[in-house]
Structure 1
Amino acid sequence: MTYEEKVRKELLKWQRKMLKPPGLIEKSTKGIQSRINELYPQKFLDVMTSTVKNLVRAVIFGLEFIPKGKPLKNKSLAERDILAMELLKTYKKVAAAEGAGTGAGGIFLGMADFPALIAIKMKFLFELAHIYGYSTERYRVRLYLLFIFQLAFSSQEKRPPVYRKILHWEETVKEYPELKAMEVFDWEQFQIEYRDSIDLRKMLQLLPGIGAVVGAVANYGLLEDLGQVGMNCFRLRILKEQGIL
């Protein structure tokens, strides 16, 4: 069995997970998340909303996150996966340090952590794209990163349609012309799903005393979630382009 065939089996297993309908536990968490939202200060909710909207705009139109180096060429998928794991390991440490520092300061520094962490996540995705050979100078690639981000932090109820957009990328990208991207892309839903997915972990970070420990663990875990989804999305795209999947 080749490495690509091994990855193909892993991706088919992962696909079943992405398309699985929500169970009782996932459904019941929606009510809990709504109650958690009520505990947030309005100022924090405003920061979350504006940060996500600005992120979507920056990714679609800006060059803020584009790495200095060129996308890697002439590498096998196995080599790219190794480099991706090394990158993820580095970024998890960065995110954990950020969470510990802001978590130690309670609610106000906890609020500051939200835009910092979202920037760390996006920088990771941009570098990950280059490891897998895709140039983030291209709008189509940056748009792909937004959908990866959305998939990683969507509820199980919302994941299947997002996953299908990634799976059928050539059709999806036609729905989002560059000049109308901000009008077409549902950044409000994007923001709600992201907020709900991190609620409990980040809410505890705002509490003085335990915030530093919770912040470090939460940020580390959130980067792990994003890393696994990001790697699989790029592996999926490469194997589809090679006609293996």
Structure 2
Amino acid sequence: MNEYELRVYDEIIEWKRKLKKRSNMLARASKRVQSKVNEMIPEKVHQVMTDAIKNMVKATLTGSNYTTKRNQGSGLTLQQKDELLTEKLTSYRKTAMVEGAGTGAGGLFLGLADFPLLLSIKMKFLFEAASIYGYDSSSYEERLFILHVFQLAFSSDQKRQETLAIIDDWESRKQVLIEMDWKEFQQEYRDYIDLVKMAQLVPGIGAVVGAYANYNLLDQLGETARNAYRLRLLKTPPLS
């Protein structure tokens, strides 16, 4: 009996249950306010922001593909893959903390620069995760999966449920997925991190807030990536 895989399967069930729970009242109220603000923003502005995020993400995906070592988890058990991902996550969290502290200490100007820098760190980590769990991120469908993992980690209750359903049934759903909804992608991501990162722009406390926020955002992404790839590997309970 593979006791580790049995335990992981139970952890996946619990993780999915947790994702289906509603956010706390503050988060829901914040999302309502942000939705109202988004409605007030002219469509042309939304399009500019969407194009900017789309181009930024695609550039990061291309760069990460070239710099990520292939088949890092080849020959490893699931437990060893999980342990390797934990090592990678520890390293990426430290990088994100240093980046957040540096840009946070710089006030408004460098605080704004934190957005693309942190985004690139997150995407690079997801490419590492794909490699560890045995998936080829050079293929279009695997890059699309990476974007859905990212969206699952940083989205509102409703979008999180929709994205979880797609990831949970990826082999079937990927056949009809052609492109991301980039407008929705950028709005969900910005809305999710706005409150977390806002205080980073305040002189004096920006460095501490930036380091702490980036640490937690990477932690959230790490848990999501680990369980999303576990879910693909363990679709049914392991045989005992």
Q: What band does the TM-score fall into relative to the shorter chain?
A: 0.7 to 0.9
CA contact 1:36–1:200 (8 Å) conserved in 2: no
Residue 119, structure 1, aligned to residue 120, structure 2: yes
Following the alignment from structure 1 to structure 2, what is the Cα–Cα distance between the partners of residues 68 and 230? 16
* Coordinate RMSD, CA, aligned: 2.5
2:138 maps to which residue? 137
Match of 1:230 among 202, 218, 225: 225
Letter in 1 for 2:69: G
Task: Tell me how far apart the structure 2 counterparts of residues 46 and 53 of structure 1 sit (CA, whole Å).
Answer: 10
Q: Which residue number corresponds to residue 211 of structure 1?
A: 206
The AA in structure 2 aligned to 1:188 is K
- 1:49-87 deviation line (CA, Å, top 9, x unaligned): 45421144346xx63111442212111000000000010
Amino acid at match of 2:230: R
Quick one: distance in 1 between partners of 2:23 and 2:103? 33
CA distance in 2, matches of 1:193, 1:220: 20
SS in 2 for 1:174: coil
- Structure 1 residues 103 and 21: CA distance shift in structure 2, 3 A: closer
In the alignment, is the contact (CA less than 8 A) between 1:36 and 1:199 conserved in 2?
no
Q: Partner residue of 1:16?
A: 17
Query: Partner residue of 1:84?
Result: 85
Deviations 1:205-237 (A, max 9, x none): 111111111111111111001010011001111
1:69 corresponds in structure 2 to 69
Counterpart for residue 5 of structure 2: 4
In the alignment, what sits opposite 1:195?
190
What is the CA-CA distance between 1:24 and the residue it aligns to? 3.8
Local SS of the residue matching 1:65: helix
In the superposition, relative to structure 1, how do residues 118 and 48 fare at CA in structure 2: closer, same or farther (>3 Å)?
Answer: farther
Give the TM-score of the pair, scaled to structure 1.
Answer: 0.85
Match of 1:220 in 2: 215
Question: How far off is 1:21 after superposition?
Answer: 4.1
Calculate percent identity across the aligned residue pairs: 48
* Residue correspondence of structure 1 range 156-195 to structure 2 within 5 A: 156-177=157-178, 181=179, 185-195=180-190
Output the CA distance in 2 between the equivalents of 1:97 and 1:57.
Answer: 24
Once the two structures are TM-superposed, the CA of residue 19 in structure 1 deviates from its matched residue by 2.2
Q: Partners of 1:145 and 1:171 in 2: how far apart?
A: 16
- Contact 2:68/2:128 (CA < 8 Å) preserved in 1? no
Corresponding residue for 2:97? Answer: 96
Counterpart-to-counterpart distance in 2, 1:159 and 1:165 = 10
SS at match of 2:134: coil
What 5-or-longer segments of structure 1 have no aligned partner? 38-44
The number of aligned residues is 230
Structure 1 counterpart SS, 2:135:
coil
Residue 64 of structure 1 aligns with an amino acid whose one-letter code is G
Inter-CA distance 52–84: structure 2 relative to 1 (3 Å threshold):
same
Q: CA deviation at 1:142?
A: 1.0
Matched with 1:106 is 107
